[in-house]
Amino acid sequence: MNRFTTAFRILLALLLSIQFSIAESVELKDGTSFEAKVHSMENGYHTFEIPKSQIMQIKYANNKNDTDYISFVSNTSIATDIVKYVGGKYYIKIKNSEISALGNITKIDENYKFSSVTAAPTASKKSDYFLRLYGSNTIGAKLAPELIKAYLYKLGATEISSKQRAKEEEEITAMLKGKKVKVEIVSHGSSTGFKALNKNSCDIAMASRRVKDKEVIALQRFGNMRSDSNEHVIAIDGVAVFVNQENPIFKLDTTQIKDIYTGQLKNWSAIGGNNQKINLYARDKNSGTWDTFNKLILNKEALSPKAKRYEDNTELSNDVSKDIKGIGFGGLPYILNSKELAISDGETTVRPDRFTVATEDYPLSRRLFLYTSQNMSENLKAFIDFVLSSEGQDIVGEIGFVDLNVKNFLPILNDDMPKEYQKVVKGLSRLSVNFRFDSSSDSLDNKAKKDLDRLGTYFRENSISKRAIYLIGFSDSVGSGYSNMKLSKKRAETARKFLADKGIKIDAKNIKGFGEEYPVANNKTSRGRAKNRRVEIWVKK
């Protein structure tokens, strides 16, 4: 057997199944910590049991006087003695004198007993705070404080007030049931939220981009961070690209934006603007907005060193609005006094608005997330439920993001659309919800599962009959046209089945599939193909 376990094999195994239940958090006196199950205690040593899936790499001792080293997937490394490997588990010995704490026990000797398995930990240690939210400035600057205040008010709290503790750090206080409660909101960027969650220093990680693979691994003791128990989509946002209102440019394609921000295009005249140099404004490296922009636009090519970086969305947008040479980007609520541009990804040119962002057809649309442990406290679960409720989503909309409450729109029909498609949808309203699917699959994604309940409520409250609901499926361009036509209709049938499970019956005659005929995004990119794999929902009112 190879002594060294490659990171690739571990990552693959973890992404296939993140199921391990942790017994204890082991803290050593040198400050390092790891998760393990206590196997036995004798002769001044603890023996710990660790599944192979938790180990990134092992370096064995070269001789009797050396020690073994283990590197965990959580990025912690320790020196230890590896005793044996049995049944997919390593057994290691550590002196009692080297251990500072096991779980909640801080005195280590052989008189203490431990249960063999405990539940996955909640996200936070005991603190003086009612709730603690760390991470995205996009969420934390305005949305999170308003959601917290509304939630406290709903609980019956009085004397609700807030104060800035430091830059991008806010503390909200209130009187609840005769006691003073405090909520901490620290908004230094999405990546800082995941780091805080990993350190047990917050209850909720706020993120304006989805959790990364390495973060899923680091946080696995809290459950699968991509499951609907841990990941909560709370809003849709678009990364808007904006300029000074006097700039004559109204639209750009993603290649032009990339060339601008990498420094290859330096003058507005090169793309039809005034003969002026281009001044660049960008979010800082901890920002989820920057992560999204970097991934979707720059494709991780180097940002021009001349770009001015900002931690705060509002400050960035205000500076762009005062600079006729400037260009910046940020969430929809932060366009403020600047002018947003329509964006093309090579297929269609789309201006960010509440409809194109809600349906996620806008090329730079993104989801906003709250991440928690799967074992939430009752208070934390109640807050998440409030945020996802119709009342909480109304607040999302009031702040300027696109909320998840179902709405209907009358989109523009144009000659770019297939003739048969136009014939079907003429006179209908389109709903703000799309179902999107994995590649070559008819399985609903995480957001779509939650949308089923919202749609059920919408159809019942508006008394929409089964004959008035239309499900229209589309595919990407991978595969033959015939197979894609079949797959697109199968996806619409899948959406119909899921809605039927919620008590919403839809006439089979209203299930249509148009295959790859009407892409809303560029099929040459994986993200574009994902946007094209969709089921639209239309209604006759």
pLDDT for position 117: 33
* Residue 77 DSSP code: E
Contact 247, 342 (CB under 8 A): no
For the residues 101-121, what does the mean pLDDT come to? Answer: 43
Q: Which residue has the higher pLDDT, 37 or 170?
A: 170
Residue 76 clears pLDDT 70, i.e. is over it = yes
Q: What pLDDT was estimated at residue 100? A: 75
Name every residue whose Cβ is closer than 8 Å to that of residue 412 and which is 6 or more positions away in sequence. Answer: none
Model pLDDT, residue 66: 65
pLDDT of residue 361: 87
AA letter at 532 = N
**pLDDT (average), residues 194-204:** 96
Residue 280 near residue 304 (C-beta atoms within 8 A): yes
| pLDDT tens digits, 376-389 | 999 999 999 999 99
Whether 323 and 279 have beta carbons less than 8 Å apart is answered as yes
Q: Which residues pair with 397 in a beta bridge?
A: none
Query: Over the stretch 255-292, which tens digit does the pLDDT of each residue have?
Result: 999 999 999 999 999 999 999 999 999 999 988 899 88
Kindly give, in sequence order, each residue whose CB lies less than 8 Å from that of residue 310, ignoring residues fewer than 6 positions away.
281, 282, 283, 284, 316, 319
**129 within 8 A of 183, measured Cβ to Cβ:** yes
The winner for highest mean pLDDT among 69-78, 211-220, 446-455, 520-529 is 211-220
Element containing residue 385 per DSSP (H, E): helix 378-388
pLDDT of residue 68: 74
pLDDT of residue 7: 44
Q: Which of 529, 518, 332, 298 is nearest to 430 (CA)?
A: 518
| pTM as predicted | 0.69
Q: Is the pLDDT of residue 119 over 50?
A: no
Please check the confidence at residue 423 and state whether its pLDDT lies above 70: yes
> Taking residues 353-361, what's their average pLDDT?
88
| 125: pLDDT strictly greater than 70 | no
Largest CA distance in the chain: 82
Task: Lowest mean pLDDT of 98-107, 214-223, 394-403, name the range.
Answer: 98-107
